[in-house]
Structure 1
Amino acid sequence: MTQPVRILSTLAVAGMLREWLPGQGAEVVFNPTARLMQQIGEGLEGDIAILTEAGIEELTARGVLAAGTRRDLALSAIGMAVAPGTPRPDISTVEALRATLLATPNLVYSRAGASGIFFAELIERMGIAAEVNAKAIVIPQGFTAEVAARGEAALAIQQVSELMAVPGVEIVGKLPEGANTCAIFSAACFGQAQPGAQALLERLAAAMTPERLAAHGLDPA
């Protein structure tokens, strides 16, 4: 019996994969890139890895992923969501974002994800890290919008695509220019991938049309 192709994937494309994967003969493990990199280093095996561009490059250089199999899938920006029924705050400029972060009663971001690492650095640069972290819920990993959806935080910060993967929250939008970063998410096959992995990766890359990406808060890579 043919084993399902095993995909180790960043959370940023979770919504897209959950929509597309049924019937593709694959299974997926979701975690932030940093956590997957650690697990792969500890021996976690798969057939396809979907990580940040830097993560794919590092694992390819180490010989874990097969050279020549990389496909750039999507571009992702960081955004904000609010709990259901909460007024949407102004984040149109860096100063407006700063005022919103200071005024909110609480918020949530992720410790391990690329967006959480960036956000922690951002509030340091803004000079408001102490004030924001005093009222922040910092989850180890996972979807920050789930915390907001439960009404436990007024604001959630994460990749827009990750925020959109959680029902029951309202997307405010992308963080403003000057307070945002875009990440390229790429995929490649493991060096010991089973037959069929490359074909599945090619189908996935072809399925990531601009329209489908936009529906999940992503842009073409």
Structure 2
Amino acid sequence: MKAGSLARWVSTLALAALLAAQGASAAEVRVMISAGFYGAYSELAPAFEKASGHKLVTTRGPSMGDSPEAIPARIGRGEGVDVVIMDGKAIDDLAKKGQVQGDTKVAFARSQIGMVVKAGAAKPDISTVDAFKKTLLSAKSIAYSDSSSGTYLSTVLFQQLGVWEQIQSKSRKVRGPPSGEPVAAVVARGEAEIGFQQVSELMHVPGIDLVGPIPSELQSRVAFSGVLANSVENADASRALIKFLSSPEAAAAITKAGLAPMSGQ
């Protein structure tokens, strides 16, 4: 992050935090966040802390899946959290279970599922639905994440395309951070010919080439959002964080992370 950009964020955020949390003393905000929005969050968090005086305590995990590190599993075990940031659809599921305050949900950014190959490898055609299906069928091995994008691909899209039975045996689900790794890392080592994940989670991994997003008509329309948890202890500070992450001042970092900011839409 350039110093000038950070200074502008800090200056603007200082006023935003004051307006959002007047009279609130410095507080600790516990955040659970999935990988898709983490790139943008990691750049914005220091500015928020510096301007507001609040401290962010961050835990990472998938937004869904059967991993014990998945955010729904953590909340289900009773781990305390103030703000949850992840796939908006997964947030809706938590709201139905009464684990988060659904009426506080705010969308931050839209994402797309993309495909990568090992650096220097030929880039298959995925520009149309038919070309995408042919690429899936001809690939020697396929990797996808254990979070929202991979769940959508393996349980919805691949079946809708009628290819799951043919590709299931050569497909691998990859456990993501914090104990795992991005799908792109598996592809970079040559352990999978092609890999799929949110573009924001693929674009900065070394050793791969981003082929591009899958066809627009096949996208899952993921929107990363933030919401207050039922276990929230510092509501004013938590609301200030959500307000900033959805503000125009956060747009530059969101765009840099490969996402489309929702502010102003």
Quick check: TM above 0.5?
yes
Q: TM-score, normalised by structure 1?
A: 0.87
- What CA deviation, in whole Å up to 9, does each residue of 1:34-53 have, x standing for no partner? 22112212212112101222
**5+ residue gaps in structure 2?**
1-25, 50-54, 65-69
Distance 2:121 2:103 in 1: 47
Q: CA deviation at 1:126?
A: 2.0
User: Which segment is superposed worse, 175-184 or 74-83?
Assistant: 175-184
Q: 1:61–1:152: structure 2 CA closer, same or farther, 3 Å change rule? A: closer
Distance 1:71 1:193 in 2: 19
Correspondence for 1:33: 63
Q: CA deviation at 1:59?
A: 3.5
Correspondence for 1:50: 85
Percentage of identical aligned residues: 31
2:148 aligned to which of 107, 111, 114: 114
Q: TM-score, normalised by structure 2?
A: 0.74
Distance 1:217 1:106 in 2: 26
Correspondence for 1:175: 214
Contact map agreement 2:112 2:222 (CA 8 A) in 1? yes
**SS in structure 2 opposite 1:50?**
strand
Contact map agreement 2:107 2:224 (CA 8 A) in 1? yes
What one-letter code is carried by the residue in structure 2 that aligns with 1:153? Answer: A
Structure with higher helix content: 2
Q: CA deviation at 1:165?
A: 4.4
Q: 1:72–1:168: structure 2 CA closer, same or farther, 3 Å change rule? A: same
Distance 1:99 1:62 in 2: 40
Correspondence for 2:22: none
Q: CA deviation at 1:68?
A: 4.8
Correspondence for 1:214: 255
**5+ residue gaps in structure 1?**
none
- What CA deviation, in whole Å up to 9, does each residue of 1:133-169 have, x standing for no partner? 2222222444211211222212110111111243332
What one-letter code is carried by the residue in structure 1 that aligns with 2:57? Answer: E
Correspondence for 1:149: 188
Q: CA deviation at 1:8?
A: 0.4
What one-letter code is carried by the residue in structure 1 that aligns with 2:71? Answer: L
Q: 1:190–1:177: structure 2 CA closer, same or farther, 3 Å change rule? A: closer
- What CA deviation, in whole Å up to 9, does each residue of 1:92-148 have, x standing for no partner? 0011111111222212012x3111111112222222213322222222444211211
Distance 1:165 1:104 in 2: 23
Equivalent residues in 2 for 1:2-81 (5 A)? 4-22=28-46, 24=49, 25-34=55-64, 35-60=70-95, 62-66=97-101, 68-81=103-116
- What CA deviation, in whole Å up to 9, does each residue of 1:178-212 have, x standing for no partner? 32221111101224232522222222222431x43
Contact map agreement 1:144 1:158 (CA 8 A) in 2? yes
**SS in structure 1 opposite 2:111?**
strand
Distance 1:83 1:125 in 2: 27
Distance 2:120 2:57 in 1: 35
**SS in structure 2 opposite 1:40?**
helix
Is 2:177 the partner of 1:138?
no
Is 2:229 the partner of 1:190?
yes
**SS in structure 2 opposite 1:55?**
helix
Count of aligned positions: 218
Distance 1:208 1:78 in 2: 22
Is 2:185 the partner of 1:164?
no
Q: Radius of gyration: which is bigger?
A: 2
Q: 1:131–1:202: structure 2 CA closer, same or farther, 3 Å change rule? A: same
